[in-house]
Amino acid sequence: MSEANEDPVVRELRQQIATNDLVLLEALNRRLELVRELKRHKDSHGLEFVDPEQERRLLDRLAEANQGPLSEEAVREIYGMLLELTKREV
């Protein structure tokens, strides 16, 4: 066993990270469920699923809301990837 595994601070922080990862996973799955619901609604009303202007507004809003330490560039990159993944998943 490494020394890091024996350090109580390391163990506690790892536990907090693991808990946070589960919260993120739950939020991502819930987001996907909502997007699927939106897509079904748009499909049934003959509306385009992908709205590039809405995506731009989302990225701008999140970049503006970001308090850090995540950089604006990272926020835009992460959510850009999330938008692409979401389109593939639905």
pLDDT digits (tens, 9 = 90+) for 47-71: 999 999 999 999 999 999 999 999 9
Q: Which of 37, 46, 35 is nearest to 79 (CA)?
A: 35
Q: What is the mean pLDDT of the chain?
A: 96
pTM for the whole thing?
0.86
- Tell me the domain boundaries of the chain: 1-47, 50-90
- Can you give the pLDDT at residue 72? 97
Q: What is the pLDDT of residue 1?
A: 63
pLDDT for the residue 3: 82
The answer to whether residue 36 scores a pLDDT higher than 70 is yes
Cα 15 to its chain centre, rounded Å, is 21
Is the model's pLDDT at 86 over the cut of 80?
Answer: yes
**Distance in angstroms (rounded) separating the CA atoms of residues 22 and 82:** 17
Residue among 29, 23, 43, 42 nearest 85 (CA): 29
* Rounded CA separation 69/18 (Å): 19
